[in-house]
A and B are shown apart, each in its own frame.
Chain A
Amino acid sequence: MRISKMRYFFPIGTFLFLFLDGSLSHLFAPSFFTSSTSVESRLILLWLVLGICYGKVDHLLAWSAVAGLFFDLFYTGVLGIFTLLLPFMVYLTRNIVTFFNRSFIVVLLIYLIDITILTTLFYWVNALIGFTSASAVTFIARTLGPTLAYNLAGYVILYWPLKIFFEKFS
Chain B
Amino acid sequence: MNSSIDSQNTYWLRNKRLVIGCLIVWFFISLGCSVIFADYLNQFVYRGIPFGFWIAQQGSIITFVLIIFFYAWRMQKLDKAFKNRKQYGS
Q: Do A and B bind each other?
A: no
| Contact surface of B with A, Cβ cutoff 8 Å | none
